Structure 1
Amino acid sequence: MFLEHSRMRIKESYEKVRQDLGAILDPVELVIRTLPEEEAFAMRYLYAFMPYSDIANNPVETYLDFVRHGVRLYEEKEEVRELPESVYLQYVLFHRVNEEEIRPCRSLFYHQIQEQIRGKSPLETVLEINYWCAGEVAYEAGDDRTLSALSVWKRGYGRCGEESVFAVNVLRSAGIPARQVYAPYWSHCDDNHAWVEVWVDGNWHYLGACEPEPLLDLGWFEYAASRAMLIHARRFDGERKAWNYDTEEPESLREEEIGSEGMVTMENEIRRYADGVQTLEVLVLDEKGRPVSDLPVSFEVVNYAAFRPIANCHTDMEGKVRLSCGAGSLHLYCGRQDKAAEEILDTRRDSRITLTLQRNIEEYSWQEFDMIPPSDRTPVARRPDAAQKEEGARRLAALRTRQERKRKAWENPDRNVFVNEQKRKSEKEQRMGRALLKILTAKDQTDVRLDVLKDHLSGAMLYAGTVPEEIFIKHMLNPRVEDEILTPYRRWFQHEVPKEAQERFRNNPESLWTWICQEIRECPEHERSTVLTTPAACFRIRCGSRRSKAVLYVAMARSFGIAARLNEADGMPEYWKQGRFMAADPNRRKDCVLVLRAEEPGTWRYSQNWSLTRISATEQKVLRLRDEGWKKQKKEIFLESGTYRLMTATRLPNGTVHAAACQFLLTPGEHREVQLQSRKSNLMEILESLSLPEFEVHKEDGDKCSSRVLTGDGAHVLLWLKAGEEPTEHILNEMIQERERFEDWASRILFFVSSKEAWEHPLFEKILRLFPDIRVFYDDFEEHVPSVGRRLYVDHEKLPLLAVTRGEQNVIYASSGYQVGTADLVLRILEEAS
């Protein structure tokens, strides 16, 4: 089954892991020795290249399903045996997709789909599987923790990263090589996206996870992907050249490797999605003009009002880095010790740049700059014909009905058992049990296990009353620290750690952090940085990432009766003492005060139009701050000493960002004031020209009307409204306030509502009475709102959705949600467009 050079690489890599982890892998080796030869090699392959966190978090039995099912596919399916070996190993056999929790699922999924795909070609199998996936899972936004494919399937919904993890696992279960691809941050809007690629007929093809189409290489994200500066995939088994694969492998497998994130090799897929791709070359020199080798260079775009990395590449022996990227703006940053360099580059004009490390990370006052995204391209793939579209829509409608029933019926059985058991407890325990459930996130409620709930409740109740109840519930009873998998560990820590050590940590919580830093080593070259090692596993294996160690501190502290948390802004561990939270690391105390001043505090939204980043020569960390705390046009932020970048950003509808930034050094104990500054944009700069996807709506009498006809004559305003909801009411109230100006344009305003119930809302009734020339149509929001919003690069989940058109199907301005002054802006655009 495995070629000879693969056997040698697997064996050598596995032995290195065994030598490093020692007795930790003894139970694994005992199981491997019981397996048939091919399954044994498959298991060694997984353990040789899985993150150490996977080794720590899960027993070897977790991986038996992946191994046995993967070997079975190879033995039973000729098309699997014919795959290039690298494709089979990494994209059929391997258990991990990205950063999800790992739970056995492959044989289960295959059992669910095998009859549906029997006798079908690989291409037909892919399309059929995605229809099945759509009937099982639909999109819903959620927090950053990535559920296992099994949990996503059980509850029936997930965000795009979870949908793609689920779809990849189902595809791999059928022997279809599949991977998740990712736009780490869009250049044209504040978000990101993940989807799926499959290996069919010797090439990679893309599809939207749980978003079936009758053909491959279709998806709502096509336009957005063509505007990305970078799109990447990942490998967990290292660089391809290290495997020495046969040179006769398809050219399509020889992808551009763009460095690594820990143990993960990143591969650049931008050329599959965008036109005008540039080959960028960066040369890094030291102060004396000498090339600097093995230095990480961060390539960044502005997203959520801050520089966000899309790639980190190391310089070669000549001090150079090469990267394929879109035609737009990039921020480049590199640093070492107390020296750093940064530059903004427009790759449409320049493909080469030299960065020279400076002696210090410099302060500078407000500087303005633009970040320009690439232009989009018309999709190049073959489009479905009318019959295919109609059949696909029919199938999808039936599947979505089934999925919705499944989702509504889902209840977490473990949570229900816990609730019933609590009824037999004392009044105090019942109250704390309710508090425990209430503090869990919405996602945790759907997959938390019974043993987790019982362990955290009983382990925390030992210390009830030792701190104020609000602090006890949020920072001692709470099972959630960060985005880690929830596990039972309180009673285990209370038993495993000697009582005298627990007492010492309670008396001096800083000593617990000192102990963790001394005892728990970091092995970044063996980790996926976004996968956390659970607390007890981190303690047992004595190894974990920096984030995992911070989670371990809070978990152990809470287990020993110390209220603790991770600081919301920077993720550093803190403990409660003398009525306040204090840094567990005495070298990271927040003894500086930054006072921000703003003339209109209500207009500033963190991560929307401003951000604050702590900068060192080796790291840029965007802080997580809240909008609360403004008093008399000032906001105080407590920070540790260091260098900070304050950025303000205005995202124009065409995707360009008008930004400004200043950089300053806070010395220990310093108190500094800074005035927030924003850039103003003129009207012409915000106008765009985007083709509106054609759709049909209904008049009140049921007659159909095409968007092409509705927008065919001059300028129009299209508004998708959710009557009775606050954002919609804001725009309607603004129209009433500007009644005289809007009266002249009423006949060119088109309202789209989802049902006749909108007429029953008093405000909607009033607006139509004041503007009788406004035309109202009925629309299928489920289909048209997402397609229109995505094409216009606005958030379709935030109604009202607004588009100003000039000519047939041509949109010059779009927005979603509500911002103060929208009505006035629309009027100005109409006057400009007429």
Structure 2
Amino acid sequence: RWAHCDDNHAWVEVYIRGRWHFLGACEPEEELDRGWFSGPAGRAILIHSRCFCDYDCGGMQEEWIGREDGVYYLNETASYAKTCRLTVTVKDASGRPVRGARVAVEILNMAEFFPAAALITDENGEAGITMGIGDVRLRAWSGGCVYEKMVFPAQEAGARDSGLKEKRTGEIRTELVLKSGYPFIQEEDAKGRLAGGNNTWEQILLTAPAQAPVSCARQSEEQKGRRQRRLEEAVRLREERFRALLGQLPAGEFPEEKEMLQIAGENAAQLYTFLKKDGNPDRKRLLYSLARKDYKDAPASVLEDHLSCTQRELPEDIYVPYLLCPRIYLEELTPWRSFIRNCFSEEEKSAFTRRPELVWDYIEKNIRYDARLDYSAVCGTPIGCLKLKWGSLLTRKILFVAICRSLGIPARLRRSTMQPEYLENGEFRAPAGLRGKDSPGCLPAPALLTLEAPEAQSGEKWNYGQNWTIGKLEGTGFCTLGYEGICFAGDSLTLELEAGVYRLVTSRRLPGGNQLAAFSVFGLKSGEHRAVELLSGENDEKTMLSDYPARELPELFLWDVSGERQSLAHITGRGTALVAFLGAGEEPTEHVLNELNDYAEQWNGSGAEIIAVLRRPEELKNATLQRALACLSSVRIYFDREEAAEKTAAVMGADPEKLPLLVLTEEGRRGIYSCVGYHVGSVDLILQIFLLRKKDGKEENDDNINRKAE
């Protein structure tokens, strides 16, 4: 999880002559220790590698930073970023050191405090970690007691002039004193259940590590040219292969599924075979119920297995997603319906159909599990779970849903809590074995939480997993609920939640990568209806651009599609424009083009012009670029033949070897803000800056009009 943008990445290292070196995965460079991600890696708080056994973990040169189930994590941060040593001392209420306490180092990413590492304290109650110089939240727990606090290494290091000049700064020490129960919440009712809280918000500014890119090997011009030719050839071969595959399918037979077949690529023939077999309307229904990624690898034989169910009187919005659909969570798609039906006797299937509760009873009695042998990033399949009689809690939940659907019972994993549920008397309910001891019979009345979230003045939207999340307290930590894709109706949203303690987190990303964050912890009782207004730090131009002074760009020239040479000042005119120097086909540019596609409606309504600058005319054929151009209404294409990107980067203080380079300009040659390379969220940030400039300009104009009127 990056600290400076809302995303993450993984890459490959190779061990050569006693040292680990890095390289890209599908975009290797001509030299080792080069990659488009090297800049972001230099701003990381934590970079780890994973070892799937405990062989020699004590003797490795890398710092061991914890274990999760069957996976061991080794700290590689010092190889990429400037670091500090953070030492945490955990004490009990009496001031005695706590041995064996766990300490989570949490990074604010995608509006959640993500536990990037979990340390264990020694006999002195201490645990330490080498980490990038960025702000984190620490959470310590032991024996039901817990405490958490923010630590600010980035701000402390920034206060010391020499703090960021050395590869490794000094040690930062902090202390956590454990308390009974979660901080800020008191016990209110007779049963001692956690409740209360008054929706007070705590606001914080989190500073990301400063830009300190990895020292990369330099490339010769010959190497650059060879790499570029190889990448272009790879793109050409891939696109030709896809076109040939699609060309083998009868044109126009399934016009509504044209995009689906294009996404499928080499798997398009499998989808076509499935669609073509007969006129069963469930064929299209099933395909549209899948995730987009399923189109690329779902075999026709697997899809065929899942047509063996009937709608009966079920409404469409129940039948398709919760009975017909073969996708339950993130497991591999397999033909589990026929397997499950053959796995049980007629008596067992009849009993399960009459009482779906018995399905979970069967799973608990017959499917074993040992967390020490697990790897939680991978879900087991229903077939594998039944064959091995083995599966994690999540895999067993997936199996419950699969058995129910195989027997004609609509079932699902509840998106917010990942709890399995089956349909009974028109309502979804969890098996009794998963509802807890307090509710063996009827489900308790849910709590309702209404979030009031007026749009920011700049027009920014509230997007789950980007600028807000909600988590439920489970034991000694908050588990983020799965509300991805949920939308506000106007300026409010009502969630149906179980009784418990919740934490709302909001985050506003600033252009330099820092975050204005706020969080509120509160309890909800069964049947309660509570309203909370989401809080987010107000953006203003001073806050957004405090680290980005405007700079005068040199006289630059670009070439239009007709071959005419024009100055940048003439192209942009007196208005504000986004000048985007692109590297079509390269990973960072693909991110930017996809973001432009996602925000096309906002850009089209903003009045902003986009100047897309390519290196060569051939790049116009890039499929991602073509999709973005089809959605955006105010894009003009130019070509860079005179190193305009390098000259612009030099003036704006950006890496001249990286693309894309995005520059927001006004009045021709005045650069307001720029970012370069891999920077997820850059399109939205630049849009917010533009809208703030536009609003401030309107207010200034209104002031002038008012003064003239007076």
The aligned counterpart of 1:443 is: 293
Q: Tell me whether 526-535 or 577-586 shows the greater mean CA deviation.
A: 577-586
2:366 counterpart residue number: 519
Cα contact 2:204–2:516 (8 A) shared by 1: yes
CA RMSD of aligned residues (A): 4.4
Kindly provide the CA deviation profile for residues 246-268 of structure 1, in whole angstroms up to 9, marking residues without a partner as x: xxxxxxx5111111121111011
Q: Secondary structure at the match of 1:438?
A: helix
Of residues 58, 62, 66, the one that matches 1:255 is 62
Alpha-carbon offset, residue 608 of structure 1: 1.9
Structure-1 residue corresponding to 2:74: 267
Q: Is the 8 A contact 2:270 2:298 kept in 1?
A: no
> By how many angstroms is 1:634 displaced?
3.0
- Alpha-carbon distance in 2 for matches of 1:809, 1:274: 32
Q: Which of residues 51, 65, 86 in structure 2 aligns to 1:280?
A: 86
- 1:150-299 aligned at under 5 Å gives the runs 185-241=1-57, 254-275=61-82, 277-299=83-105
Question: CA offset at residue 604 of structure 1?
Answer: 1.9
Matched, 1:505 2:352: yes
For 1:655, what is the secondary structure of its paired residue? coil
CA distance in 1, matches of 2:32, 2:566: 30
State the partner residue of 2:231: 396
C-alpha contact (below 8 Å) 1:340/1:617 kept by paired residues:
no
Unaligned runs of 5+ in 2: 157-170, 186-196, 246-263, 582-592, 676-681, 699-710
Structure 2 distance, partners of 1:500, 1:778, is 71
- 2:421–2:429 Cα contact (<8 Å) kept: yes
Equivalent pair of 1:648/1:659 in contact (CA under 8 Å): yes
- Residue 384 (1) aligns with residue 191 (2): no
Give the C-alpha shift of residue 727 in structure 1: 4.6
Is 1:370 the counterpart of 2:228? The answer is no
Contact 1:452 1:488 in 2 (8 A): yes
Distance 1:696 1:480, change over 3 A: farther
Q: Distance in 1 between matches of 2:632 and 2:114?
A: 41
Q: 2:321 matched to which residue of 1?
A: 474
1:638 aligns with 2:517: no
- Bigger shift: 335-344 or 562-571? 335-344
SS in 2 for 1:193: coil
Counterparts of 1:819 and 1:621, CA distance in 2:
32
Q: Is 2:306–2:324's contact at 8 Å kept on the other side of the alignment?
A: yes
1:593 aligned partner: 448
Aligned counterparts of 1:806 and 1:339: Cα–Cα separation in 2: 59
Q: 1:434 Cα shift? A: 2.8
Q: Structure 1 or 2: larger helix share?
A: 1
Structure 1 residues 598 and 729 mapped into 2: Cα distance closer, same or farther (>3 Å)? closer
Q: Tell me by how many angstroms 1:477 deviates.
A: 1.7
Which AA in structure 2 matches 1:599?
P
The offset of 1:539, in angstroms, is 2.2
Q: Give, in whole Å, the separation in 1 of the partners of 2:101 and 2:448.
A: 33
Are 2:570 and 2:668, in contact at CA under 8 Å, matched by a contact in 1?
no
- In 1, Cα distance between equivalents of 2:631 and 2:146: 57
SS at match of 1:194: coil
Could you tell me whether the CA contact under 8 Å between 1:611 and 1:646 is conserved in 2?
yes
Cα offsets for 1:253-300 (capped at 9, x unmatched): 51111111211110111111112x011111222222233333332111
Q: Rate the CA distance shift 1:809–1:338 in 2: closer, same or farther, 3 A.
A: farther
Query: CA separation in 2, counterparts of 1:221 and 1:809?
Result: 29
Query: What amino acid sits opposite 1:823 in the alignment?
Result: F
Taking the aligned partners of 2:360 and 2:116, their CA distance within structure 1 comes to 32
Query: Of the candidates 548, 555, 563, which is equivalent to residue 402 of structure 2?
Result: 555
Q: How far off is 1:509 after superposition?
A: 2.1
Structure 1 residue 800: deviation in Å? 12
1:719 corresponds to which residue? 579
The alpha-carbon deviation at position 188 of structure 1 amounts to 0.3
Q: Of 751, 756, 769, which aligns to 2:611?
A: 751
How far apart, CA to CA, are the structure 2 residues paired with 1:387 and 1:830?
48
**Deviation, structure 1 residue 238:** 1.4
Deviation at 1:229, TM superposition (A): 0.2
Q: 1:734 aligns with which of 598, 606, 619?
A: 606
Deviation at 1:784? 7.9
Q: 2: CA distance between counterparts of 1:560 and 1:824? A: 54
What are the Cα deviations for residues 457-490 of structure 1, in whole angstroms up to 9, with x where unaligned?
23xx2x4416334422211121111111111222
For 1:385 and 1:809, how far apart are their aligned partners in 2?
32
Deviation at 1:806, TM superposition (A): 12
Report how far residue 563 of structure 1 moved: 0.6
Match of 1:335 in 2: 141
Say whether the 8 Å CA contact 1:415–1:449 is kept in structure 2: no
Q: 1:314 aligns with which of 120, 127, 134?
A: 120
Which residues of 2 match residues 101-180 of structure 1 at below 5 A? none
Residues 729/553 of structure 1: CA separation in 2 closer, same or farther (3 Å cut): closer
Distance, in Å, in 1 between the alignment partners of 2:567 and 2:35 is 22
Identify the range of structure 1 (562-571 vs 627-636) with the bigger mean alpha-carbon deviation.
627-636
Change (3 A) 1:581 1:544: same
* CA positional deviation for 1:384: 0.6
Shift of 1:381: 2.3
Partner AA of 1:617 in structure 2? G
| AA partner of residue 436 (structure 1) | L
Counterparts of residues 544-693 of structure 1 (less than 5 Å): 544-584=391-431, 585-587=434-436, 591-600=446-455, 603-625=461-483, 628=486, 630-631=488-489, 633-687=491-545, 688-689=547-548
1:410-449 mapped onto 2 (5 Å cutoff): 410=245, 416=269, 419-420=272-273, 425=278, 427=279, 430-449=280-299
Partner amino acid, structure 2, of 1:447: D
Q: How has the CA–CA distance of structure 1 residues 453 and 715 changed in structure 2, closer, same or farther, with 3 Å as cutoff?
A: closer
Deviation sequence 1:71-113 (CA, Å, 0-9, x none) = xxxxxxxxxxxxxxxxxxxxxxxxxxxxxxxxxxxxxxxxxxx
Change (3 A) 1:807 1:344: farther
Tell me how far apart the structure 1 counterparts of residues 94 and 355 of structure 2 sit (CA, whole Å): 48
What is the alpha-carbon distance in structure 2 between the residues aligned to residue 437 and residue 240 of structure 1? 47
Q: Find the counterpart in structure 1 of residue 683 from structure 2.
A: 816
Contact 1:752 1:779 in 2 (8 A): no
Q: Aligned residue pairs: how many?
A: 601
Shift of 1:685: 2.7
Deviates more, 1:254-263 or 1:289-298: 289-298
Structure 1 residues 500 and 792: CA distance shift in structure 2, 3 A = farther
Residues 593 and 447 from structure 1, CA distance in 2 versus in 1: closer, same or farther, beyond 3 angstroms? Answer: same
- Work out whether residues 270 and 299 of structure 2, in 8 Å CA contact, stay in contact via their aligned partners in 1: no
Q: Secondary structure at the match of 2:320?
A: helix
* Aligned partner of residue 596 in structure 1, secondary structure: strand
Structure-2 separation of matches of 1:378 and 1:806: 32
Extract unaligned runs of 5+ from structure 1. Answer: 1-184, 245-252, 737-748, 769-774
**For residues 640 and 399 of structure 1, do their structure 2 counterparts lie closer, same or farther at Cα, with a shift above 3 Å needed?**
same
1:612, CA displacement in angstroms? 0.3
Measure, in 1, the Cα distance between the counterparts of 2:697 and 2:179.
Answer: 50
Partner-residue secondary structure (3-state), 1:816: helix
- Give the residue type in structure 2 aligned to 1:598: A
Look up the SS of the partner of 2:333 in the other structure.
coil
Residues 559-594 of structure 1: CA deviation (Å, up to 9, x unaligned): 122110111112111111222222233338572211
Whole-Å separation in 2 of the counterparts to 1:641 and 1:696? 63
SS at match of 2:179: coil
- CA distance in 2: counterparts of 1:729 and 1:451, whole angstroms: 39
**Distance in 2 separating the partners of 1:658 and 1:469:** 43
Percentage identity across aligned positions? Answer: 30
Show the counterpart of 2:692.
825
Partner of 1:323: 129
C-alpha deviation, 1:538, in angstroms: 1.3
Instruction: State the distance in 2 between where 1:703 and 1:422 align.
Output: 49
Change (3 A) 1:823 1:653: closer
Please give the alpha-carbon distance, in whole angstroms, between the structure 2 residues aligned to 1:518 and 1:342: 38
Give 1:631 shift.
4.8
